[in-house]
Structure 1
Amino acid sequence: MSLSQTEQVCGARTRDGGTCQEAPINGTGRCRLHGGASTGPKTAEGRKRTSEANKQRWRKIAVALMLLEQRKGASG
Structure 2
Amino acid sequence: MSSPQAAAVVEVTAQDLHGPGVVFCPNPKMTQWSSHPKVYVDLSHDGQGKCPYCGTVYRLKAGEKIAHGH
TM-score range, shorter chain: under 0.3
Higher strand share: 2
Larger CA Rg, structure 1 vs 2:
1
Q: Which has the higher contact order (CA 8 A, sep 6+)?
A: 2
Higher helix share: 1
